[in-house]
Amino acid sequence: MSGERLNFAVGPVMMHESIRSIGKEQIPYFRTPEFSGVMKENEGMLKKIAGAPKESRVVFLTGSGTAGMEMAVMNSFSQKDKVLVVNGGSFGERFEKLCGIYKIPWESILLNPGEPLTKSCLEQYSGRGFTGMLINMHETSTGVLYDMGMIGDFCRSNHIFLVVDAISAFLADRVAMEEWGIGLLILSSQKALALPPGMSFLVLGEKAMQRAGKAEVKSLYFRITEYLKDGECGQTPYTPAVSVLLQLNLRLKQVLEMGIENEIRRVHGLSVYFRENIKKMPFEMLTSSPSNAVTALVPLTGASAYQYFEKLDKEYDIWVCPNSGALKDKVFRVGHIGEVGQKEYDRLLNALHEIVEEGI
């Protein structure tokens, strides 16, 4: 073991000291004009970074990314809809489960692990009466980044309301809500935003707000209309994760000061650095269409992928991201988000080299 523990997971991730220092402070009371001002700033900055339409609104939901996914589904669709779900892994499957729970008619585009979504595949579903689409821009379980320009064109031509989970893509890959015709965008705090877990953010365009206004939501906590109403004065209907929202304010200011493109370029540079160096070792990437956020690796040594996770954890004080289910022994993932740089990747690469040399 050497140095501090490193975290190359895909969330939560390592945070900058300036962000961590806010979490050490006493939590202020939030029903104040000062906190409302912070929240209005947060809304404006998130919309700018997401490339959202001017008239769009942001809902600040205290809950994990899955809570954001659930809120989006139950406020956007009903039994009168016919929804197309892209299932390329465990997070696409999560959208399927939500449709099942709320009895929303759906059909899935089922992709193999690591398989990109192609135009020819998508065109098979054209003109078939779909009213909505649910997709994870980056299928985090396999590392695949989908072509959102292509998907946006498909939805426009078929008059489909598009809901996108960009939780692990936001600030790692370019997100352009208005350009791609995204009706509702789901974000979360613990990925490339590099904040503690606990907050999700839903960016709603005009059609999303209309759908939410008509939705018969059988929930108190997940009713979007209540969040929109309180959000007009910079508040939330229920107690939010106040510290995380203060940390969000600083983090978004840092991103805008650095430049959105520069932040994405930084993450891209780290992903390229790691991928170039890993070529020297017996691993292959699971997908040919990876996000900047994560590299999904398949060991070629015959060893279980989970063994790499365990050995890095116990012997090197390094966390990478294991997989579960059918991919547990086949794939592990290395994240490129959070407060890490080339020096940290060199330590990870040296550790992987030693493990390979030892032969596990």
Mean pLDDT (whole number) for 3-17: 94
> Burial of 97 by CB count in 10 Å (0-12 exposed, 13-18 middle, 19+ buried)?
middle
CA distance 133 to 149: 14
1: pLDDT strictly greater than 60: no
Q: What pLDDT, on a 0 to 100 scale, did the predictor assign at position 2? A: 54
Identify the pLDDT of residue 235. 98
Q: What is the DSSP string of 209-276?
A: HHHHHH-----STT-HHHHHHHHTTT--SS---HHHHHHHHHHHHHHHHH-HHHHHHHHHHHHHHHHH
Span 133-150, average pLDDT = 97
pLDDT, tens digit, 9 for 90 and up, residues 213-226 = 999 999 999 999 99
Q: Which helix (H) or strand (E) holds 108?
A: strand 106-110
pLDDT confidence bin for 89, thresholds 50/70/90: very high
Per-residue confidence (pLDDT) for residue 71, from 0 to 100: 98
Segment 299-315 shows an average pLDDT of 96
- Provide, rounded to the nearest whole percent, the portion of the chain with pLDDT above 70: 99
Q: What is the mean pLDDT of residues 40-48?
A: 98
List pLDDT tens digits, range 254-276: 999 999 999 999 999 999 999 99
Nearest-angstrom CA–CA distance, 133 and 198: 26
User: Is the pLDDT reported for residue 360 higher than 80?
Assistant: no
Count of all residues that appear for the chain in the document: 360
CB-count burial class (<10 Å; 0-12, 13-18, 19+) for 221: middle
The structure's pTM equals 0.97
Task: With CA atoms as reference, report the closest residue to 35 among 254, 239, 255, 256.
Answer: 239
Tens of pLDDT along 277-290?
Answer: 999 999 999 999 99
Backbone angles phi, psi at 87, to 5 degrees: -115, 100
Tokens of 217: 């939501």
